[in-house]
Amino acid sequence: MSTHKLVSALLLGATLVGAAGSASAYTGEELATQAKVGVADARAIALKAFPGTIADEELEKEKGGTGLRFSFDIQHGKTTHEVGVDANTGKVLENKREGKHPD
């Protein structure tokens, strides 16, 4: 294998590993065993409620619904919405525009 092909293969492998690692890691991941809805399904529900690009995501214990929710910050243009999805029912609990000082 030529040096060029080897370097290309190594760079591609590193990119795929990095992308896979960042796509699956989120804040509160240790709570995932308590959730009935998986993060991939919760993402799809959130993006259906407010289409855009997910900028941040977390799984957290919070009042409302069953007490465990996925929270997504979704950007569309200059607008960012926080969409909360109940981690046990899949119900959208929150879909609001973020203010200047999000919590």
Reported as a single tens digit per residue, the pLDDT across 69-98 is: 999 999 999 999 999 999 999 999 999 998
Entry pTM: 0.73
CATH code, 35: 3.10.450.40
pLDDT at 16: 40
Q: Are 13 and 5 in contact (CB under 8 A)?
A: no
State the total domains in the chain.
1
Residue 35 has pLDDT above 60, yes or no: yes
- Least Cα distance to 65 among 37, 24, 30 occurs for 37
pLDDT at 55: 96
The average pLDDT across 41-70 equals 96
Q: Are 46 and 70 in contact (CB under 8 A)?
A: yes
Q: Is residue 64 part of a domain?
A: yes
Q: Is residue 6 part of a domain?
A: no
Q: Is residue 82 part of a domain?
A: yes
Q: Is residue 12 part of a domain?
A: no
pLDDT at 101: 55
Q: Cα dihedral angle (68, 72, 73, 77), rounded to 10 degrees?
A: -150
Q: Is residue 76 part of a domain?
A: yes
* 3-state DSSP assignment of residue 65: coil
For residue 101, CA distances in Å to 12, 82, 90, 97 come to: 38, 12, 27, 11
Residue 58 has pLDDT above 80, yes or no: yes
Q: Is residue 4 part of a domain?
A: no
Residue 63 has pLDDT above 60, yes or no: yes
Q: Which domain holds residue 76?
A: 27-97
pLDDT at 28: 94
